[in-house]
């Protein structure tokens, strides 16, 4: 817990928070709070930041990366830098959602990246509607995967997104925290009358030949095996960074366009 003077030093306080987040995320997120996002009437800002950098257990050779078409939709095609390697990985096919699943381990095998790639005629939105945490755990069980030699084509990509989480949190039942007179932060602050006005979440992830970098910061103002000779992620897919021992998801996202 740190006290800042929003009333007398608004801009300095904003810059102080952004500097803290930048340090915690290795400068991947530098402007969590944009100019004007806090003012002299801001009573409380809660900030959280996480950062992850992992190297592939089996790295992609940079010399094998080349430009290839990525099918954003049936009618829209964009070029992408496509990585390639032929090696042995764990895979499975979930007939329920017509989706191939590939597991790419990081060095140390404590974390994996899991790629969920629907068949080309399947919309990614359909998979997103069907997926739940319980189903995800079942679909990605190691004893349901087969280890086999496969040709993997995976785009290099970098994603940055901003989200206003207030509406989402309110729909989940977290309403009192945003209401003056109802919020109770007495457990973390001595000052009375504090409440949240909005929650900003910013995330960053980069996937390249060496591995993955991911960061996130939040500020509060199964089926039959399909024989697939290659795994070509040349159309929209979901990705997850998963803790091997607990199956917990530490980061997730979608890649739908270069």
Q: In terms of pLDDT, which residue wins out, 227 or 85? A: 85
User: Residue 1 has what pLDDT?
Assistant: 61
d(CA 33, CA 30): 9
SS3 6: coil
Cβ-Cβ contacts under 8 Å for 125 (sequence gap 6 or more): none
> What is the per-residue pLDDT across 62-121, written as a single tens digit (0 to 9) for each?
999 999 999 999 899 999 999 999 999 999 999 999 999 999 999 988 899 999 999 999
Q: Which residue has the tokens 């050779």?
A: 61
Average model confidence (pLDDT) across the chain: 85
Burial label, 42 (beta-carbon count in 10 A; 0-12, 13-18, 19+): middle
d(CA 246, CA 258): 32
Which domains are present in the chain? 55-158+207-255 (2.30.39.10)
Residue 225 has pLDDT above 70, yes or no: no
> What is the per-residue pLDDT across 169-192, written as a single tens digit (0 to 9) for each?
888 888 888 787 788 877 776 677
User: Residue 127 has what pLDDT?
Assistant: 94
Phi, psi of 160 (to 5 degrees): -135, 130
Q: How confident is the model at residue 200 (pLDDT cuts 50, 70, 90)?
A: confident
Determine contact, residues 58/85, Cβ cutoff 8 Å.
Answer: yes
SS3 208: coil
> What is the per-residue pLDDT across 19-72, written as a single tens digit (0 to 9) for each?
988 888 888 888 888 888 777 777 777 777 777 778 899 999 999 999 999 999
Determine contact, residues 90/242, Cβ cutoff 8 Å.
Answer: no
């Amino acid at each position: 817990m740190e006290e800042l003077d929003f009333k007398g030093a608004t801009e300095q306080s904003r810059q102080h928070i952004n500097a803290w987040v930048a340090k915690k995320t290795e400068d991947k997120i530098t402007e969590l709070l944009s100019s004007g996002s806090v003012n002299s009437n801001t009573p409380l800002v809660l900030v959280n930041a996480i950062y992850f950098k992992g190297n592939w257990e089996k790295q992609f050779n940079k010399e094998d990366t080349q430009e290839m078409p990525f099918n954003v939709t049936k009618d829209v095609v964009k070029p992408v830098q496509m990585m390639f390697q032929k090696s042995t990985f764990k895979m499975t096919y979930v007939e329920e959602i017509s989706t191939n699943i590939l597991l790419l381990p990081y060095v140390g095998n404590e974390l994996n990246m899991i790629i969920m790639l629907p068949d080309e005629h399947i919309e990614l939105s359909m998979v997103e509607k069907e997926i739940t945490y319980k189903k995800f755990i079942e679909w990605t069980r190691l004893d349901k995967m087969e280890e086999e030699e496969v040709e993997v084509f995976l785009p290099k990509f970098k994603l940055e997104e901003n989200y206003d989480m207030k509406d989402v949190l309110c729909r989940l039942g977290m309403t009192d925290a945003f209401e003056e007179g109802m919020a109770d932060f007495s457990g973390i602050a001595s000052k009375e009358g504090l409440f949240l006005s909005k929650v900003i979440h910013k995330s960053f992830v980069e996937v390249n030949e060496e591995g993955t970098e991911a960061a996130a910061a939040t500020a509060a103002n199964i089926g039959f095996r399909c024989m697939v000779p290659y795994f070509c992620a040349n159309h929209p897919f979901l990705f997850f960074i998963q803790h091997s021992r607990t199956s917990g998801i530490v980061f997730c996202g979608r890649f739908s366009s270069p």
